[in-house]
Structure 1
Amino acid sequence: MYKYLTIESIIAIKEYKSYGFSIRKIAKAIDYSKSTVHRVCKLLNQNLLLLEILNQVQKNKQNAGRKLIILTLTEINTINHLLITKNYALDIIADFLKKNKIKNISTKTLYNMFKTNRMGFDEKNLLRKGKNKPHKQKETRGRINNCKSIHEKNLNVKIYFADAGKPCQRGLNENNNGILRRYLPKSTDLSSYKQKDLNSIAFQINSTPRKSLSYKRPIDLIQLF
């Protein structure tokens, strides 16, 4: 926690400095950070008044920290288009904006904008995440008898089965399922879809950049073979 500077602490720093104490020893003696003591010592060398030093340090503290990122209307529309129309995840959007020199913004900053509804973004547009199973519920889905678990890697076998209820052991599979569910929710009757509709969905999925492919599109890599 930041400890606010006072006139008394500036006087103490000045006294210790006059006796030749190092910045580290002064900071330890008055229980302030070394950076704060260093800033005060630099201002003392300029022969400023104590009140001037206090005001300058407080002003610098107010200006410190990361500046609030403001997006233009074009940038906001581009992000919403990629998220809603193209079903891009936030990390893919951040990479797209950077590669196309539109905006250098991190995935975390984008996520915080949606969570706080900043810049007109709506949290409801974020892609949904799966639900955790209830506490102490015994997982039985995906259980296969007489098969080697992924933990039994000391055995001389080439294929291992993920543990039941452990989607983290097959992350790529779970991610692909999540992408597919955006177009075809669970319990969807595929008989109502024509082949050209399914081909269109497949094309859209393969045209979406993937983090596992260094944000390249699967369709571009497929064409290399």
Structure 2
Amino acid sequence: MYSWIRSQGIIELIMPKYYSQIKIFVTLAPYFLFIQIISSTINQAFITVNDEQILKYIWLAHFICAVVAGITFLAADTLFISIFITYLRQARSEIQLIDEKFMIIAKYGIWAISLEYCAFFLLLLGMLVSNWTLANSLEISGTFCMNCVGMILVYIKMRIEKIPVASIRTFSGAEIASKDETSSETHTKVSFLVPSLNINYATSRRIIAKTEQSSK
């Protein structure tokens, strides 16, 4: 949900035709994840039951719920990481004005989602192996990956909070075009509110120059 809140602006740029469908999917996805929480609670509640048959069915139900939640989890992450990669490729292959916060979300979002992949497979393996020590090690490793994801998300939020409102940076090829502080402040005052506005770098510089002259 955090990924959706932070990246829905990018999704509107990259996949505007499918924005409404993606929004519906993201709205329904948490319900599939809550199923796993319910099944896990039931599994823990009946852990002291002596009937092996009942425990077997409870564990099987919990495993199925975990797989369903995991598939939903991976589908959402695959969607977001593909959108982030597409956005970064476009930013590096075209000369355009791009909101800086989108670049931060895309870059660190890829790292966060990659760790989420690792966490999912580690936790899934932990449920499948019979060796208790190995299962605990896998679960601890998966939990560590998720903690790293949480730290990355906090870092993303901190970086975004430091960005001035309506701040847009110009990208040309794979490098960020450097600007002096005066140009950056003037650029912010111009307030281009449409990140996908396709104007070349020379044109944007002329606009900034005119703005500076008028301000004088």
TM-score (norm 1): 0.27
Larger relative contact order, structure 1 or 2 (CA cutoff 8 Å, min sep 6): 2
Query: Going by fraction, where is strand more abundant, 1 or 2?
Result: 2
TM-score (norm 2): 0.28
Max Rg structure: 1
Query: Going by fraction, where is helix more abundant, 1 or 2?
Result: 2
